[in-house]
Structure 1
Amino acid sequence: MLQRTRKAIILVSLLLFPVTLNYFSPYVSFDGAMNGLVSGSLILFGMLFLSGMFLGRAWCGWACPMAGLSEYALSVNGKSVNTGRLRKIRFVIFTVWFGGIIAMFVLAGGIKGIAPLHMTENVISVDEPVKYIVYFMVLLLFTGLTFALGKRGACHSICWMSPFLEGGYRLGRWLRLPQLRILSEPKSCISCGACDRKCQMDIDVSIGLKTGSIEDPDCILCGECTGACKKDVLRFGTRKI
């Protein structure tokens, strides 16, 4: 039931992507910064950072429009990926992009206003035929990378939203805030490896659970591992570090 609900939510999110595209757009944030404006996408990224403090990367598993594409692509290529190498690529992209936003605000003379509908005056992102070009390019990019790389390949390699979530998660840990995690009962584990095989993010769940909870910053709290475990070793819960 849990997975059916989660997959229904991410499917709806994917279907709504023509409406919400600009609110996730790194370009809209950059363009807004050039004009000294805090755009809707930058506001959303800030909200993701705040959510990460308490929910980690649950957004990635439960609400991201690209989550649906990434999961359906697993049937084409579900091989493991080099998460360490791809993480470096992701954070280089993020550093260059976010550094550019800061630079644009400086050149614009600072923040001059807040514009939630910047470049999205009609509220709907894809509101004219030419914008479907961008829409389909984004879909092809995420799908193509996942087909080529393996398990959530695009999430690991180019996602510009995950650093906000991971940053919030790490700050929440540092502040010792109660965070939603996958908790475990290590003594009940029989090392069958079912949780590792089900993990969409290629985390070594069977190793991480020995500490009492999965603390890997790549955990998207999808809950696939909890459903795969026949001994009820894994469950959702909150924990302070």
Structure 2
Amino acid sequence: MDKTYGSPREAVADIEDGASLAVGGFGLSGNPMELIRALHDKGVSGLSVVSNNCGVDGWGLGILLGDKRIAKMTSSYVGENREFARQFLSGELEVELTPQGTLAEKLRAGGCGIAAFYTLAGVGTQVADGGLPQKYNTDGSVAKASAPKETREINGTTYVLEESITTDFGLVHALKGDTHGNLVFDRSARNFNPLAAMAGRVTIAQVEELVQPGELDPDSIHLPGVYVQRVVAVGKDIEKPIEKRTVRPRQEA
């Protein structure tokens, strides 16, 4: 039952070229940065990555993207990353844009063994009708477009069928975890991390604090260890950048 690994490098050692990954994080919150760095150092390429976004230039998944290690991104938000836009528009990167709620449910459904589900999101748009550019040629023409999806009318309302997502590996960040893989996430880091963990056939969790079984209050556990195969402690002093710092004048006491 002890799922701990000595280092991020050891935990990602069997991730090879062409692997598919579900990666937690929302903006810069909750990124499994130490696992991403270890994967970058390993030199793997041709990755198919499912994540809400692709980090920013030089941070998060952006460090893999910057060295052209990612072949395909499945995301709901692709802004604030100039290199992402450049690679997509120049035909170097395949991108499957998915509504955010749909992406979350595709990951959750995959982890629950649900093959597909019907949703309202995307009905009447290229998400359902097809034709959404996924990859460009170098001359700017569309090399690959999304295919039409099945729709069905239920009780007078039209829904689109979305297939679930499972990946070879899941990479996630948690505040606390025990050696059995039970995880606790901190505030907004509890975003796509539990879902990415569920979707990965082999899920690797980096945790700020590693504890022994029984030390976590069962009611505080956000993700049970059945979804996690590997745990590595990275400490509490890891860097946590703020994506956009906004401040207001301090009110006088």
Superposition TM-score tier, normalisation by shorter sequence: under 0.3
Tell me which of the two structures has the higher relative contact order, counting C-alpha pairs closer than 8 angstroms and 6 or more residues apart: 1
Q: Name the one with the larger helix percent.
A: 1
TM-score of the pair, normalised by structure 1 = 0.28
